[in-house]
Amino acid sequence: MHASYVIRRLLQIIPTFLAVMLVVFLLVRLLPGDPASAILGDRATAEIVERTNRELGLDRPLPIQFGVFVRNLLQGDLGDSISLKIPVLRLIGERLPTTLFLTAYAAVLGVLMAVPLAVLAAVRRNTWVDAVIRAVFQVGLSLPVFYVALQLLSLLGARLGWFPIGGYGEGFGGHLYHLFLPALTLGLNLAAILVRTLRNSIIEVLTAEYVDFARAKGLRSRVIMTRHVLRNALIATVTLLGLNIGALIGGAVITETVFAIPGVGRLMVDAIFGRDYPVIQGLTLTFALIVSLVFLITDLIHARLDPRAELS
């Protein structure tokens, strides 16, 4: 892989980041309602609202507010949360690892479920095994995340007592244990998407001439599957997985609420309802950065699996 390709892709993140910065700054201010309304609620008098807006610097012209935002950002300061009155950077630092842990956990569970089942479905294509796998995941894909979450909680948490009902736990082992059900919820959804694509890719590759050639060479089935079929079939799946990381973070909003996980998903929802501008801005920039990095990593893996990708 060429270093210039990596640098080119890294540089592409900068304009994306700048555009997101401007759009999010303007979008939050276009929302009807303002932080003072949201924080102070229905009872605030006009004077208190005015005083609050002045204290927050929201009475100043928009270009000045934007200038302050960019200047602070360049100094690594995302401002203080309006409702929680603590630095946004600290807030994100406290909450982001939880969401990243959950997202990664869900991605791992999703892939662990999807790959073997997709191979099985492809090898046994058009048999009852294939039909069952496809049907189960089709249903999984159609069910709303919050419904799956509540069912898993009721059955595996409350009724059988195998897992705790919500929370994040302490230490790595505690996180693995506490986040199993939410990660499974998100992982099931992801696996449903991956199984379909991967199965079709495997079937396509299985009929390719180089696979016939490998068979003709007398290679064992397992070697053909891992070295030739999966490697090629995974190209599309990796792209799909990368694209779905954004959706996983989005899904985390609901999952974090149902499972009482203190991640950035819930923080974002609270910030939007509370018109907490600095938190919304900080989180959107963080999400943009994460998604850009995931896309970059996806492209790099893609390029590794299929060197032709670098040329495009």
For another protein, the closer of residues 30 and 74 by Cβ is 30
For another protein, the closer of residues 39 and 235 by Cβ is 39
The number of beta carbons lying within 10 Å of the beta carbon of residue 205 is 21
How far apart, in Å, do the first and last CA atoms of the chain sit?
13
For another protein, the closer of residues 79 and 166 by Cβ is 166
For another protein, the closer of residues 242 and 263 by Cβ is 263
**Closest distance between another protein and the C-beta of residue 83, in Å?**
5
**Closest distance between another protein and the C-beta of residue 64, in Å?**
21
**Closest distance between another protein and the C-beta of residue 47, in Å?**
10
**Closest distance between another protein and the C-beta of residue 258, in Å?**
5
Which letter does DSSP use for residue 311 in this model? Answer: G
For another protein, the closer of residues 107 and 153 by Cβ is 153
Of 242, 265, 307, which Cα lies nearest the Cα of 179? 265
**Closest distance between another protein and the C-beta of residue 86, in Å?**
7
Q: Angle 16-20-26 (CA atoms, 0-180°, nearest 5)?
A: 150
CA distance 110 to 192: 8
For another protein, the closer of residues 105 and 277 by Cβ is 277
Q: Which distant-in-sequence residues (6+ apart) come within 8 Å of 222 by Cβ?
A: none
Residue 225 is which amino acid?
M
For another protein, the closer of residues 16 and 83 by Cβ is 83
The number of beta carbons lying within 10 Å of the beta carbon of residue 172 is 9
**Closest distance between another protein and the C-beta of residue 45, in Å?**
6
**Closest distance between another protein and the C-beta of residue 37, in Å?**
4
| Residues of this chain that bind another protein (CB under 8 A) | 31-34, 37-46, 48-49, 51, 55, 80, 83-86, 91, 94-95, 150, 153-154, 157-158, 161, 164-168, 257-260, 262, 266-267, 270, 273-275
Q: Which distant-in-sequence residues (6+ apart) come within 8 Å of 259 by Cβ?
A: 149, 153, 166, 167, 179, 181, 182, 185
Of 26, 22, 25, 53, which Cα lies nearest the Cα of 39? 53
CA distance 294 to 244: 10
Q: How far is CA 18 from the centre of its chain?
A: 21
Helices of type H across 124-179: 128-142, 145-152, 171-178
